Chain A
């Protein structure tokens, strides 16, 4: 079902960030050498969610279009949540890259959709998108090393 409400969008953000963090935790367990990077990403996901949530709770008002701000289909933002036991580092990082691209798209679309309707919420999504872009560069570098 399409998500239209801010509350629904914030809950979807939480769900996606948590699921993505679990993927990184799994990667950290599988690949000892790059454990610190993956755990840092997992931890950062929590910060990303907090940033968006804080913005929402800070500016939510009954006078704005909080129930009509978004048109998000959760199906569009699904990613692989479990990795096979024998996956190689390069394949695992490739999956992480796909996941990050999905999350980046989610953040950009959420920022765009809320732009005229929810003060500060789009900025929080945009800041997270910016950080995700930096993360993509790190993952791409790791993929090159792993090849």
Chain B
């Protein structure tokens, strides 16, 4: 089968995009490495405090005029932006595979989901309309005007280098704000490409800015008095203890989407064939590096025959997953992002063995399709007899590891799900409406799946999250994003 052509030739020098200009950073430069091939495909700057300050200053300066631009005119910029993303769909997708490792279907899926947010933001003239009440008292009227706020910071993670900043940025600019985006320095190429298209779409200088880097940039955003709000996707310790806390201290509004440990609950009446296919994507898609990945497979009931048959089929199908370079169309699972992440996953596997879980599929010595270094590759791993208290049953591994548990009944299964501190994306597989409703009603999870393994909300729904998976009030995407990026100005009017 074909290995698709790489769109990034040689080494791309990543620059910052500030005030409509591509500028070199004075910070140190780090390599961007294709995790499948091990080749350096880019050089990314770790920008300085002065550079983030310059971007915020540009965004602040651009804000008044951008705010005065009519919502319809702003949405036309966004619409042009969407058209350009569509025209470059395939190249943008292949870049994701090159810098992150995910396979091409997954990258195209990410591109589609990112563009869907831009599409929804095109409807902002309607989405940000206020509301009006006549005669709240005699001859007095009252109404709400959603108004933009100023400069927002958007901090992206490594696992969805294209899509996740688009959960926020299009809504922010369409509602009249200006943005500074900080992509992960491990995967900066997608956001560079997006910024090139934002430039081509004609956004005025300063409206859309990208500053590459690490902690200095993040801290620069968090402490900057001219940044009014932050959206963040990343780990729980950073989201809770740094982003959420600091935004509280500095009076910024915040969306902090954090870690997860998702349970996939299997009822004995599930459609086995369809469920097992869904398990493959849920647990091993994106090499398990997503906050909506299945992590714990919780099989319900005391029917040992069902348990053995179901798990046997899961193991059989999992063992056939083709692992390799994501631009090879045959590949179903790519590498993890880098060798440190692989080492972390290996530590979890070791801890599972030490804590007494039964390793029934060992992915530590990867079989790879094609001739690639195994630096970042793993095959899928499955543990049986996992307890919710073991590290592999409790903590986010962020890798292709399935921990299998059992519950006597659905009630106990829900208790096990809810005892975990995370609450991002739990799902049930069943054909019983009663059981599905019980699960939906009782499970403490921001996103709930019924016969869906990856509970990823569409762009016109909020990307929810509960407990340690989310800090904030409003969420990214759709109407909630519009609400987050606007303040309600309430007017009460009387004429004498």
Contacts and interface: CB of A to CB of B under 8 A. Distances in A.
B277 A65 contact: yes
3 closest cross-chain pairs (CB), A and B: A62-B109, A66-B105, A63-B454
Interface in B260-290: 274, 277-278, 280-281, 285-286
Contact of A5 (B286, B317, B332, B453): B332
A70 to B, nearest CB: 11
Given A5-B331, A8-B329, A67-B106, A61 B281 contact: no
B322 interface: yes
A5 B105 CA distance: 7
B162 to A, nearest CB: 10
A63 to B, nearest CB: 4
B458 to A, nearest CB: 9
B330 interface: yes
Interface residues on B, range: 20 to 34
A3 B108 contact: no
A5 to B, nearest CB: 5
Contact of B280 (A11, A58, A63, A65): A65
Given A3-B1, A11-B329, 15 more contacts: A1-B1, A5-B332, A8-B330, A11-B1, A62-B109, A62-B110, A62-B285, A63-B113, A64-B281, A67-B106, A67-B285, A67-B332, A68-B277, A68-B281, A69-B277
B274 A7 contact: no
A20 B108 CA distance: 27
22 contacts: A1-B1, A3-B330, A5-B330, A6-B105, A7-B105, A7-B108, A7-B329, A11-B1, A57-B112, A60-B105, A61-B456, A62-B105, A65-B277, A65-B281, A66-B105, A66-B106, A66-B281, A67-B105, A67-B106, A67-B332, A69-B277, A116-B274
Nearest to A115: B274
A4 B332 contact: yes
Given A8-B1, A57-B108, A62 B277 contact: no
B333 A63 contact: no
B270 to A, nearest CB: 13
A55 interface: no
Interface of B: 1-2, 89, 102-106, 108-110, 112-113, 274, 277-278, 280-281, 285-286, 292, 317, 322, 329-333, 452-456
A11 B2 contact: yes
Contacts of B322: 4
Q: What is the predominant secondary structure among interface residues of chain A facing chain B?
A: loop
B109 A60 contact: yes
Nearest to A116: B274
Contacts of B452: 63
A117 interface: yes
Interface of A: 1, 3-8, 11, 57-69, 116-117
Contacts of A3: 1, 329-330
A61 B112 contact: yes
A116 B429 CA distance: 14
B161 to A, nearest CB: 12
B331 A63 contact: no
Contacts of A67: 103, 105-106, 280-281, 285, 331-333
A51 B336 CA distance: 34
B1 A61 contact: no
A29 B285 CA distance: 48
A117 B104 CA distance: 17
Contacts of A63: 109, 113, 281, 292, 452, 454-456
Contact of B277 (A60, A61, A117): A117
A94 B331 CA distance: 37
B272 to A, nearest CB: 13
A6 B112 CA distance: 14
A75 to B, nearest CB: 13
Contacts of A58: 112
Contacts of B286: 62
Interface centre among A4, A61, A63 (most CB of B within 10 A): A63
Contacts of A8: 1, 329-330
Contact of A1 (B102, B106, B281, B330): B330
A64 B1 contact: no
B113 A61 contact: yes
B278 A65 contact: yes
Contacts of B285: 62, 67
A128 B110 CA distance: 27
A60 B109 CA distance: 5
Contacts of A7: 103-105, 108, 329
